[in-house]
Structure 1
Amino acid sequence: MHVIRRAIQRLVPGLAVTLLLAGSLWAQDDNAITRFGVELEAIPFPDLEVFQEAVSDSLQSARVVFKTKQAGAQTPRELADAYGRLGMHYQAHEMQDPAGAAYRNAVALIQDDARWFYYLGLHDYESGQHDAAIEHYRRVMALEPTYPAVRMRLGLAFLDSNRPGEAETVFRQLLDKDPDHAAALTGLGRVAFRAEDYANSIDYFERALVAQPQASELHYRLGMAYRQTGDLERAREHLEQRGNIKPQYPDPLIHAMQGRSQSSQFYLQQGVAAGKEGNFEGAVNALSMAIAVNPKDDAAHVALGLALEQLGQHDAAGMKYEEALRINPENAEAAFNLALLLDQRDLTEPAIPFYEQAVTNNADYTEAWYLLGHANMRLGRYARAATDFTRVAQLQLDNVHVWHLQALAFLAAGQCEDALTALATALAINPNRGDVIQTQARTFATCPSATAEQQQIALADARALYDLRPDLEHAETLAMAEAALGNYQDAADYQAQAMFESFKLGGPDKFPGLQTNMERYRDQQPAEEAWPASHPVFAPDAFAYPTESDDPS
Structure 2
Amino acid sequence: MISIFYAIFVLVQPATDINVSALAPEAATAIRLQQQKTTIHQNDWHTLGVLYHAHGMEHEAIDAYKFALEVAESPSERTKYLLAQALARIGNYEQALQIANTISDYTPAIWRRGYWQMDLGEFEQAGWLFTRAIETAPDCVPAIIGLARVHLVMGSPNESITLLNDVARRGGSHPYLTFLLGTAHRRAGNHELATKLLENPTIGPPIWPDPWLSEMQSQTKGYSADLSRAAAFIDAKKPTSAKTVLESLAKRYPKDARVANNLATVYLQLQELTIAENTLKKSMRWNPQYAPSQLTMAFVMQAKGANDLSLAYSRKAIQLQPAMSAAHVHAGRMCFQSKNMSAAVDYFATAIELGNSDPAVRQMYAMVLLNTGNLALALQNFDLVLQTNPASARSISGKAIALALMRQPDEGLQILAEAMLKFPNDPTLTNAWKSVLQIKGRQ
Normalising by structure 1, we get a TM-score of 0.41
Bigger Rg, structure 1 or 2: 1
* TM-score (norm. length: structure 2): 0.49
